[in-house]
Amino acid sequence: MTGYGLTDFDKADSIIAIGEREARKHWNELVRIAQLQKQAKGFRNVPTVNEFRVDTIQLQGEMPFPPKQLKRFLPVHKEAMTELDELQERIGELYATGLFRFIEYRPVFDEGGKSRLLIKPELRQGYDTRLRLGLHFDEVYKSSGVMNLTWLNILGIKGSASSLDLILGDKLRYNYNFFLEGGGPFNFGFNSFLRYNTIDYELPLPIAIGEGQELTALSFNSLYIGNEVYWQFLTQKHQVLGLAAGVQFFKSRTQEISNYKGEAGFSDEKNLYLSSELYYRRDTRNKRQFFTDGMKLYASGRWLQLLTNPDFEGQSRKPAYNLDLQLEVAWPVDPHMAFGMEINAGQLYGSTMQPWYYVIGGNNRNFINNHRRFLSLPFGGEIGTGLVAGSFYTQINPVGKHYLTLSMNAALLHRQNSPSPFDQYRNFYSLGIGYGLETLLGPLEATYAYGNGGGELYFNLGYWF
């Protein structure tokens, strides 16, 4: 049948008439086919495979990492069965790396009951180099441009990943990380970073500066540079156990007066530190921002040693120790609501090590070292040598990508060298309410909290770093 197209809807009657005329020319053949269909005994049930045992993985094509690393994504259970849903989930995680254009996979059953998992990946063009740009704003770092450059298999080193984060704005920062995953216990890395911050610190006691004037607060400019190597001897799907050792340079200076030596808070200093750390990290969150299920855990023990001469009283060449715990957990109640809990706890023992003081305030979860967020206080609002803090919240997702959060927050801060014995322990509590929106630039959040330490309004846009 010619002379008609897909858009000739107004000629439907003519098309049907032509089709009927041509079909009647083969009427007897069509009747015979219809009779054979009526005599059919029905369909044969073909069993479907919902689970199978994976004895080996057969790779056809190029992988961007060593074969041992592939085992972190794909199950090889020689003694147990693998469900098809689990396999599809693992393949989805491979896709989520952004390295592949297409992945063909299927189980192949050999004679004798053996099975192979056939994987045929197709790498994305330019998979080994990635450039990402973003924007960020909050009350501490102000406006910033964020750039990330990632290289895979740099200098031909299979299984290596190199990443550079450069933050340009009011507070210059950078992160550089090199990681080599060889599979099993042989995973090594190198970190380098620079942080520049300004902390407004309320003095425990006023300082007289003459002519009847007193200082009740100081602004500290702090520069923090660090380099460390680390070894991860347990690397699994959601958890990591490792050791790190490095050297950090810390410089802090007040803007108002020179050579300030604080008794309970920050002091002017310029020192070099040696640190080592045993850490455990676990992350099972269902998503990075506004997560509703899973947990994020970071537990560490640090050994700290001053390498230069002490700058102020209380600081010595004796080592210090720091135990620290950070935990976030969320439980879904229904598709539009989740309960959550956040716990921060830690203590600094031994000699005074200013870069590892516990500093609470602000709403950023990614502050350096022992800076911890606490709603209702400004960034750097309170300082101590030990902390126990908790937050319990309800997160509501009424529609789309909009979120409403209600929180209760409490903290107990220990100040070991407080000038007053009645001020060694200070407690804080607050109530908070926040609105969040998922955007292409990252989370957009507005939060207000009020407590016994005052009230604070926070606004931030973009991913934290």
Q: End of a domain among 103, 123, 143? A: 123
> What CATH number has the domain bearing residue 111?
3.10.20.310
356 in any annotated domain = yes
| Residue 362 and residue 265 share a domain | yes
12 in any annotated domain = no
Q: pTM here?
A: 0.76
286 versus 380: which is more confidently predicted?
286
CA–CA separation, 25 vs 314, rounded Å?
Answer: 106
pLDDT band, residue 264 (cuts 50/70/90): very low
> What CATH number has the domain bearing residue 150?
2.40.160.50
| Residue 119 and residue 256 share a domain | no
Q: End of a domain among 123, 151, 167? A: 123
306 in any annotated domain = yes
pLDDT tens-digit profile of 436-452? 999 988 899 999 999 99
∠ CA 339-345-347, nearest 5°, is 175
| Residue 111 and residue 248 share a domain | no
pLDDT at 244: 96
Tell me if 107 sits within 8 A of 219, measured CB to CB.
no
43 in any annotated domain = no
253 in any annotated domain = yes
pLDDT at 437: 96
Q: How far is CA 39 from CA 27, 30, 43, 44, in A?
A: 19, 15, 12, 15
CA–CA separation, 245 vs 261, rounded Å?
Answer: 29
| Residue 98 and residue 199 share a domain | no
pLDDT at 448: 97
Tell me if 203 sits within 8 A of 189, measured CB to CB.
no
pLDDT tens-digit profile of 291-342? 999 999 999 999 999 998 876 665 678 899 999 999 999 999 999 999 999 9
| Residue 355 and residue 450 share a domain | yes
pLDDT at 394: 98
35 in any annotated domain = no
Domain that includes residue 366, residue range: 129-461
Q: Which of 151-155, 347-351, 374-378 has the lowest mean pLDDT?
A: 151-155
Residue 391 has pLDDT above 80, yes or no: yes
pLDDT at 423: 63
325 in any annotated domain = yes
| Residue 386 and residue 337 share a domain | yes
Maximum mean pLDDT: which of 52-56, 196-200, 215-219, 279-283? 279-283
45 in any annotated domain = no
| Residue 402 and residue 254 share a domain | yes
For 419, other C-beta atoms within 10 Å of its C-beta total 12
pLDDT band, residue 51 (cuts 50/70/90): low
Count of the separate structural domains present in the chain: 2
User: Angle 27-38/12-24 helices, nearest 10 degrees?
Assistant: 80
